[in-house]
Amino acid sequence: MTPPKPNELETVATDLLAACGQLVARLRAESNRLELTWSQSVILARLDAMGPTSTADLARAEAVKPQSMGASLAVLEGEGLVERSPHPSDGRQFLFSLTDAGRGVRERTRKIKLAWLSQTLGSLDETEREDLARAASVIARLANTPSP
């Protein structure tokens, strides 16, 4: 197998960034139908996946400052979508988790995005769907590759 040329890698990287950016923008538009910001939607998804989590751990997972995460959590808490409880071993921290209302909003947001994406995938031919299925696992692997 011939190693790729650097300009070929840059072209693929540029195309992938553009395509992922367009998909994220479209998914953001779909999630806005429930009047959540993208970051609020992401926080609800993280809490759904991670369970009760500290502000610091959520901030680390999303690569944002703890102060920014704290502000977003305060809004979600004010809307009754998340709740805080004392950290079991660190009295200085709180753990945040989804409320029943937060789980409901998370599920509705997920269903809206999945409905749009499933419908759109249905318009592709079988080969394109197979290509995307393979690409999804490669993209997930890329996303989980540590920085050099």
The mean pLDDT of 120-131, rounded to a whole number, is: 96
Cβ-contact 56, 73 below 8 angstroms? no
pLDDT of residue 90: 87
* Amino acid letter, 148: P
pLDDT in tens, 5-46: 768 889 999 999 999 999 999 988 887 777 788 889 999 999
Q: What pTM was computed for the model? A: 0.78
Kindly tell me if the per-residue pLDDT of 82 is higher than 90: yes
Phi and psi, residue 94, nearest 5°: -125, 155
Residue 4 DSSP symbol? P
Residue 35, classed as helix, strand or coil, is: coil
pLDDT of residue 19: 94
Report whether CATH 1.10.260.40 matches the domain 29-143. no
Instruction: Compute, in degrees rounded to 10, the torsion defined by CA atoms 40, 108, 78, 43.
Output: -30
Residue 86 DSSP symbol? E
Mean pLDDT of the chain: 92
pLDDT of residue 125: 97
Cβ-contact 70, 53 below 8 angstroms? no
pLDDT of residue 20: 93
